[in-house]
Structure 1
Amino acid sequence: MSKKGVLLVNLGTPDSPETRDVRKYLDEFLMDPRVIDINPVSRALLVKGIIAPFRSPKSAKLYKAIWHDKTGSPLLYYSQLQHQLLQERLGGEYMVELAMRYQTPSIEAALNRMKAALVDSIQVIALFPQYASASTGSVYDKVMELVRKWQTIPSISFVNSFHDNELMIETFANNGKKYKPETYDHILFSFHGLPQRQLIKCDHTGKYCLKVDNCCNTLNDTNKFCYSAQSYDTARLIAEKLNLPKEKYSICFQSRLGKDPWVQPYTSEVVAKLAAEGKKRLLVFCPAFVADCLETVYEVTVEYGDEFKALGGEHVQLVESLNDSPTWIDALEQMVRGVKSPVGSLKA
């Protein structure tokens, strides 16, 4: 029986929390020209000479703090669950494979399994709700690099982004409701950061990004492919589901690396500002991630939690990611089957 291939791809994780494996992961990740988009020689000197050697021991300690004795990396664990649950949902007509952009399981191995199975088509879903060249774009670049070597290439399709998928929005909102948002002083929607230069490169007009006031606040035809604009739209949709007034929540960006300006406002600065205003309890969503990982479990809960308490705050509560929620699996099934959930988020 012929099958349709579905390739789920997340970012990746070290094979273990040991320094050698963390360094191997960082080296592959940061050498990607879409991640650190500078001169190749400068990138190699920066990554191999400075970042990977010095950052690996520090990052290894953080990974050890979130690594589970039985299930290992939370990102890989939940990605595997998503893979398994989606395969069960779709049935024998589909062949679902899981890969990581960096490290294992590899995209190449997953594609080769589908090639051997003679799938009729391949649908690629990069598990990043908001499109960015450094994440979604990198996944598609790698897939095309590998498949173009095949003598026979099946029909291939890509899900560009799903930042406004209604079932995804509903899952995040329902996860948040469990913590009773009305009992918190403020809500944060903290997205992974990107260098501003990467946003500017995505503005094909050359006249809009960071040149128009509040250029990301509302999604429109000019910024519809912008990571920051899609992030603002995701936050708005979740806030609407929760009936949050605008003064009750803030949108910010975490995980800054290096000295170049990144997307602002920075989460750390927003946390400090809220503490200075006397806020005591923060509820934090991380809607750039479909599975809990180092950036959610540790960076938000521990690092920002400690910073907030040191400045007079009392508690930072992370809202868990989509993980293995049945509603999230519903969303993935809809994407695969081509069923579009109501969107209505694109503003004129």
Structure 2
Amino acid sequence: MKKGVLLVNLGTPDNPETPAVRRYLDQFLMDERVIDINAFNRFLLIKGIIVPFRAPKSAKSYREIWTEEGSPLMIYTVKTTELLKQRLGDEYHVEMAMRYQSPSIESALAKLRAAQVTSIQVIPLFPQYASASTGSVHQKVMEIVSKWQTIPAMSFVNSYYDDDLIIEAFAQNGAKHKPEEYDHVLFSFHGLPQRQMIKADETGKHCLKSADCCQTITGANRFCYSAQSHATARLIAERLNIPKEKYTLTFQSRLGRDPWMQPYTSEVIAELAKKGVKRLLVFCPAFVADCLETIFEVSVEYDEEFKHAGGEHVQLVESLNDSPLWIDALERMVREN
């Protein structure tokens, strides 16, 4: 009998053409944890406005990063899965899935069920917890498994934002670019609406009640995406001896008019350029695999914006991808849990 492991990443279109991107965006944005407004308004917003207008533009961006092997996020998730299988050996059965599109969580769980695993450990591939990512994966898995007649022992990894091996992996990737030779360093995390941060504060007395509410992990913000992001950035900076005055934490990928977590990456890079910053090094520690948000949004769009504002170059620090330390961290996570 084997133990089961399920790795789940966010997802990617099946191909970079508009119909496939439309299907992906539709499934992604219709998730009640991603766009957390009432169902009727979400339907009108997603089906009537966002997807029809955004799909063609996103498809063009996906075509810029697509390779002969396919989507970078898919390529690296497959590599990670295969490397973890090799590390864990015959005692474990490892499957991978995407929260949106293919391969589905349903199909991966079906394979684990057919293998008659004695347990299933679910590891969302997001270092920091957020309801819209990790929470959505957990909910989907529970919905599916709850319909099984026989449910094996289940465990869910919540977050690993401060895992020492993962911090070291990001630091090693950054060290290759010699941070000391850059004028400033950005830690750019995927953004979320402020309302989702407020909802995560179960006390109702902490989130956004002070300017430094995310600077330290406490009982009130232990599941706060922003607080965990600040912790990740601080640990990487400390590992690389980057002084506090030389780095800034920002959030990217806004959608809609509601206030999102701040400061916004696009605004900060413009401000830095106007202050005379010429060379900018950017980490994206919310992503374990390079994808549209890193390869295109940072390396292309932000680089263009930075140069337009007077800067010279934005350098992306690659994600964990298939780093040996990343596989070390996953192996330890599986064996210790």
The TM tier, using the shorter chain, reads over 0.9
State the shift of 1:212 in Å.
2.2
Amino acid at match of 2:85: Q
Deviations 1:159-200 (A, max 9, x none): 100000100000000000000000000000000000000000
State the shift of 1:105 in Å.
0.5
Aligned equivalents of 1:233, 1:194: Cα separation in 2: 17
Amino acid at match of 1:81: K
State the shift of 1:243 in Å.
0.6
State the shift of 1:222 in Å.
1.5
> Out of 153, 159, 162, which is 2:160 matched to?
162
Q: Which residue in 1 is equivalent to 2:291? A: 293
Aligned equivalents of 2:48, 2:105: Cα separation in 1: 27
* 1:306-321 equivalent positions in 2, closer than 5 A: 306-321=304-319
Deviations 1:79-124 (A, max 9, x none): 0000000000000100000000000001000000110110000000
Amino acid at match of 1:260: D
* 1:49-64 equivalent positions in 2, closer than 5 A: 49-64=48-63
Aligned equivalents of 2:66, 2:33: Cα separation in 1: 28
**Structure 2 unaligned regions, length at least 5:** none
Aligned equivalents of 1:243, 1:221: Cα separation in 2: 28
State the shift of 1:213 in Å.
2.6
Is residue 303 from structure 1 mapped to residue 307 from structure 2 by the alignment?
Answer: no
Deviations 1:248-287 (A, max 9, x none): 1000000000110000000001101100110000000000
State the shift of 1:22 in Å.
0.1
Q: Which residue in 1 is equivalent to 2:12? A: 13
Deviations 1:220-261 (A, max 9, x none): 221111000000000000000001110010000000001100
Amino acid at match of 1:226: C
Is residue 43 from structure 1 mapped to residue 42 from structure 2 by the alignment?
Answer: yes
Q: Which residue in 1 is equivalent to 2:229? A: 231
Partner-residue secondary structure (3-state), 1:83: helix
State the shift of 1:41 in Å.
0.3
Amino acid at match of 1:227: Y
Deviations 1:115-138 (A, max 9, x none): 011000000000000000000000
* 1:77-116 equivalent positions in 2, closer than 5 A: 77-116=75-114
Amino acid at match of 2:58: S
Q: Which residue in 2 is equivalent to 1:221? A: 219
Aligned equivalents of 1:152, 1:248: Cα separation in 2: 54
Amino acid at match of 2:335: R
Percent of aligned pairs with the same amino acid: 71
Amino acid at match of 2:37: I
Q: Which residue in 2 is equivalent to 1:73? A: 71
Deviates more, 1:217-226 or 1:262-271: 217-226
Aligned equivalents of 1:219, 1:146: Cα separation in 2: 32
Amino acid at match of 2:35: I
Aligned equivalents of 2:184, 2:156: Cα separation in 1: 36
**TM-score, normalised on structure 1?**
0.96
State the shift of 1:217 in Å.
1.4
Aligned equivalents of 1:165, 1:290: Cα separation in 2: 13
Partner-residue secondary structure (3-state), 1:27: helix
Q: Which residue in 2 is equivalent to 1:199? A: 197
**Structure 1 unaligned regions, length at least 5:** 340-348
Aligned equivalents of 1:236, 1:12: Cα separation in 2: 28
Aligned equivalents of 1:251, 1:34: Cα separation in 2: 24
Partner-residue secondary structure (3-state), 1:188: strand
State the shift of 1:211 in Å.
1.1
Amino acid at match of 1:264: Q
State the shift of 1:307 in Å.
0.2
Partner-residue secondary structure (3-state), 2:304: helix
Aligned equivalents of 2:52, 2:12: Cα separation in 1: 17
Query: After the TM superposition, which segments of 4 or more aligned residues of structure 1 sit over 2 Å from their partners?
Result: none
Partner-residue secondary structure (3-state), 2:90: coil
Q: Which residue in 1 is equivalent to 2:262? A: 264
Partner-residue secondary structure (3-state), 2:186: strand
Aligned equivalents of 2:18, 2:151: Cα separation in 1: 39
Deviations 1:26-53 (A, max 9, x none): 0000000000000100000000111111
Q: Which residue in 1 is equivalent to 2:242? A: 244
Q: How many residues align?
A: 337
Aligned equivalents of 2:219, 2:271: Cα separation in 1: 33
Is residue 333 from structure 1 mapped to residue 331 from structure 2 by the alignment?
Answer: yes
Amino acid at match of 1:41: F
**TM-score, normalised on structure 2?**
0.99
